[in-house]
């Protein structure tokens, strides 16, 4: 990690001149280091996409009957009609219970090489099973209890059969997770202003966004937030880009925003060297997903940028630099697909919510 700090110090020299117009060379260099959103979504060989599977996954994703008291669905915390999150500091599950971390966006989560702030799930399939039985989130006693619920809803039986035609017992927790993951692989947001610019439309970015793009490249933000999803470059699926946060200890921010109590990756591995390591989150659509950081303590993108510059690169950005970076981050808001809430299959007895 030292090399990043060094890069920041060296570049810091040239940056003291403030927000000057960038030279063509600087723009070219930054642009060639950054990537557009890949056209192809990574998909595991044992779970190929199909229209019927995605449709099933979408229904399950929107179905609150998969929670203990029938009130919470995946979409409650990851609203795909907006930023793919819930706009809250931390997730709120059944009976108003609060978790300890913020809900990350599901937009483009298909490009994450690991899932969760601490990377504890390797795939979307693994991830999808967690919230169902998390006592704070959807609160079901067991995966068997979830499947018993699903089996009470005849429409689902048909949908599972169509989605997994070769399976003897298509209605299973693994297939439920596969279907949800397949739906999530459709939640991608291409054609942000940055992507259009990268692909040749020189009018797509404002001068401020271009200055911000050059700055994040020069100071080293993108050494962590690199690659097509701006959360790490060159990592394979199942392999996480874990970085310390805060990397530079002792800034007032540690206390102000309570950055040290949750130990991040350490909570999974219990290895000392993993204390306060976090998976690098995406910058795509970050303008839509306030509040920020694992604990949702930072309310605005401006402040998140200041905190990052100080805690990760030991730099203080000037106000015009912060607004340039924010202009660039805004240019990473993609085209959100229009999602219409599905009509859910009904229970046999026509009652919409099962007994808790
Ligand atoms: C009560 C709110 C809540 C519910 C309900 C919920 N989630 Fe989440 N989700 C979260 C939170 C909070 C995290 C981050 C937890 C962590 O990292 O420790 C998360 C993480 C994720 C991630 C990882 C994204 C990333 O960038 O790492 C995905 C994908 C996801 N949830 C999908 C789902 C699906 C699918 C369901 C339904 C089966 C679901 N969630 C239900 C709050 C919720
Ligand atoms: C050493 C690696 C590293 C560097 C360098 C870095 N970041 Fe981060 N960034 C992270 C990590 C890790 C997180 C997640 C921290 C957390 O919430 O636990 C993060 C989170 C963020 C977030 C909040 C995302 C969200 O959804 O809550 C923003 C915005 C951000 N970084 C912007 C920047 C900017 C701008 C720079 C350069 C000034 C930068 N980062 C430099 C690793 C880095």
Measured CA to CA, the distance from residue 279 to residue 306 in angstroms comes to: 19
145: Cβ contacts below 8 Å, ≥ 6 apart: none
- Contact call for residues 100 and 295 (beta carbons, < 8 A): yes
From the CB of 187, is ligand 1 less than 6 Å away? Answer: no
Q: Which ligand is nearest to the CA of 67?
A: 1
Mutate which of 121, 127, 288 to test ligand 1's pocket (most atoms within 8 Å of Cβ)? Answer: 127
Two tokens, residue 3: 């090399």
pLDDT attached to residue 145: 97
pLDDT attached to residue 353: 58
Confidence of residue 1 (pLDDT cuts 50, 70, 90): very low
Considering only CA atoms, give the Rg of the chain. 21
Q: Which ligand is nearest to the CA of 311?
A: 2
pLDDT attached to residue 21: 74
- Contact call for residues 347 and 157 (beta carbons, < 8 A): no
Cα four-point dihedral sign 301, 121, 43, 176 = negative
Whole-number Cα distances in Å, 101 to 43, 92, 223, 305: 27, 10, 25, 19
Residue 321 neighbours by CB distance under 10 Å: 21
Confidence of residue 11 (pLDDT cuts 50, 70, 90): very low
Confidence of residue 20 (pLDDT cuts 50, 70, 90): low
Two tokens, residue 230: 């701006």
Ligand 2: nearest atom to the Cα of 244: 12
Confidence of residue 3 (pLDDT cuts 50, 70, 90): very low
Two tokens, residue 130: 């967690």
> Model confidence over 63-86: pLDDT tens digits?
999 999 999 999 999 999 999 999
Q: Which residues line ligand 2 (CB under 6 A)?
A: 4, 216, 219-221, 223-225, 243, 245, 247, 278, 280-281, 286, 289, 292-294, 304-305, 308-309, 312-313, 325
> Model confidence over 197-220: pLDDT tens digits?
999 999 999 999 999 999 999 999
Given a cut of 90, is residue 96 above it in pLDDT?
yes
Dist. CA 341 → ligand 2 center (Å):
32
pLDDT attached to residue 22: 86
Mutate which of 100, 221, 230, 287 to test ligand 2's pocket (most atoms within 8 Å of Cβ)? Answer: 221
Residues 180-191 have a mean pLDDT of 98
Given a cut of 70, is residue 350 above it in pLDDT?
no
Residue-averaged pLDDT of the chain: 93
Ligand 1: nearest atom to the Cα of 90: 12
């Amino acid at each position: 990690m030292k090399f990043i700090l060094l890069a920041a110090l060296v570049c810091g020299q040239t940056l003291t001149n403030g927000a000057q117009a960038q030279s063509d060379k600087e723009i070219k260099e930054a642009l060639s280091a950054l990537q557009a959103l890949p056209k192809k979504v990574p998909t595991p060989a044992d779970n190929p996409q199909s229209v019927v599977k995605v449709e099933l996954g979408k229904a399950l994703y929107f179905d609150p009957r998969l929670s203990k008291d029938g009130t919470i669905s995946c979409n409650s915390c990851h609203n795909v009609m907006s930023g793919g999150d819930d706009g809250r500091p931390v997730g709120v599950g059944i009976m108003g219970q609060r978790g300890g971390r913020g809900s990350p966006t599901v937009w483009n989560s298909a490009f994450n090489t690991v899932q969760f702030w601490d990377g504890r799930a390797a795939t979307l399939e693994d991830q999808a099973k967690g919230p169902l039985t998390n006592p704070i989130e959807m609160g079901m006693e067991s995966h068997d209890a979830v499947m018993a619920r699903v089996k009470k809803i005849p429409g689902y039986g048909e949908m599972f059969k169509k989605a997994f035609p070769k399976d003897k017992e298509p209605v299973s927790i693994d297939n439920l997770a596969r279907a949800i993951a397949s739906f999530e692989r459709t939640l991608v947001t291409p054609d942000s202003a940055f992507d259009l610019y990268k692909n040749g439309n020189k009018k797509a970015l404002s001068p401020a966004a271009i200055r911000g793009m050059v700055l994040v490249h020069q100071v080293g933000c993108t050494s962590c937030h690199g690659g097509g999803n701006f959360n790490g470059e060159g990592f394979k699926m199942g392999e996480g880009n874990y970085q310390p946060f805060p990397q530079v200890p002792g800034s007032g921010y540690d206390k102000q925003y309570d950055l040290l109590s949750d130990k991040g990756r350490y909570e999974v591995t219990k290895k000392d060297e993993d204390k306060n390591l976090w998976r690098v989150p995406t910058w795509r659509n970050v303008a839509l997903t306030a509040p920020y950081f694992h604990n949702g303590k930072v309310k605005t993108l401006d402040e998140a940028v200041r905190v990052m510059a100080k805690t990760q690169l030991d730099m203080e950005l000037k106000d015009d630099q912060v607004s340039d970076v924010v202009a660039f981050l805004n240019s990473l808001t993609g085209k959100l697909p229009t999602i219409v809430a599905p009509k859910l299959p009904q229970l046999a007895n026509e009652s919409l919510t099962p007994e808790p």
